[in-house]
């Protein structure tokens, strides 16, 4: 049973969430968890200007995902930061290269799940994940979110990311806030939950 986690991260927030998702998925017996990132599309000069060039060195050891790897997985959990209420352009460009998989129905019946990161509490966490689902549904995937059995969603103790649609973190306008323990717990829960459902479907 292969659980593929595919993410894009500019400053490391989505990468940290991806690690937590992987931790949760590995708790399920029989799960082979694979972590991949999508290619960067911004030029090096611009990445340096926005302070993302050095930040990316933290996760540059993660291999770049190929389109064919999607077809080999039983479940795919995507992670993307929000860009104006939608997925990042890097993730969009990667997914735009999956037309061949769509033509063959290669992802039909596989589990698809999404987590995200936003700068602010109301920066588009839900819209990003829900609009991402549209692509997964066109591929015939089975959507899995973050159910309320992850009870931390009901907390009023702190401002935090996450919704029934998927785990999320709030980075802050300057990117200084890294995922909190409760946000990471949501990511772990989602990873484990997806892997548990994948295990049932692959039996």
Distance CA 64, CA 43 (A): 17
Report whether 36 belongs to an annotated binding site. no
Residue 13 marked ligand-binding: yes
For residue 9, say whether it is annotated as part of any ligand binding site. Answer: yes
Residue 8 annotated as part of some ligand binding site: no
- According to DSSP H, which parts of the chain are helical? 13-26, 44-49, 67-72, 89-95, 99-104, 125-138, 181-202
Does 172 carry a binding-site annotation?
Answer: no
Say if residue 24 carries a ligand binding annotation: no
- Is 151 annotated to bind ligand? no
Q: Is 16 annotated as a binding residue?
A: no
Give the whole-angstrom CA distance, residue 94 versus residue 96: 5
For residues 29, 143, 38, 99, the Cα torsion angle rounded to the nearest 10 degrees is 120
176 known ligand binder: no
138 is in an annotated binding site: yes
Map residue 176 onto helix, strand or coil. Answer: coil
- 71 among the known binding-site residues? no
What are the binding residues? 9-14, 82-84, 102, 138
What are the binding residues for substrate? 102
What are the binding residues for FMN? 9-14, 82-84, 138
What are the binding residues for NAD(+)? 11
């Amino acid at each position: 049973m292969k659980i593929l986690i595919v993410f894009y991260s500019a400053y490391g927030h989505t990468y940290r969430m991806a690690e937590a998702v992987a931790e949760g998925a590995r708790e399920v017996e029989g799960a082979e968890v694979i972590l991949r990132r999508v290619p960067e599309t911004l030029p090096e000069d611009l990445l340096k200007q926005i302070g993302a060039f050095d930040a990316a060195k933290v996760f540059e050891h993660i291999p770049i995902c190929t389109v064919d790897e999607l077809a080999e997985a039983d479940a795919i959990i995507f992670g993307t930061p929000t860009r104006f209420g939608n997925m990042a352009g890097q993730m969009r460009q990667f997914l735009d290269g999956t037309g061949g998989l769509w033509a063959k129905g290669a992802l039909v019946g596989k589990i698809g799940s999404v987590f995200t990161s936003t700068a602010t509490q109301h920066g588009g966490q839900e819209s990003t994940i829900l609009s991402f689902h549209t692509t997964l549904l066109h591929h015939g995937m089975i959507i899995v979110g973050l159910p309320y059995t992850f009870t931390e969603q009901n907390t009023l103790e702190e401002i935090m990311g996450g919704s029934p649609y998927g785990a999320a973190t709030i980075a802050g306008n300057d990117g200084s806030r890294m995922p909190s323990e409760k946000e990471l717990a949501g990511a772990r829960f989602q990873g484990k939950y997806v892997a548990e459902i994948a295990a049932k479907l692959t039996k």
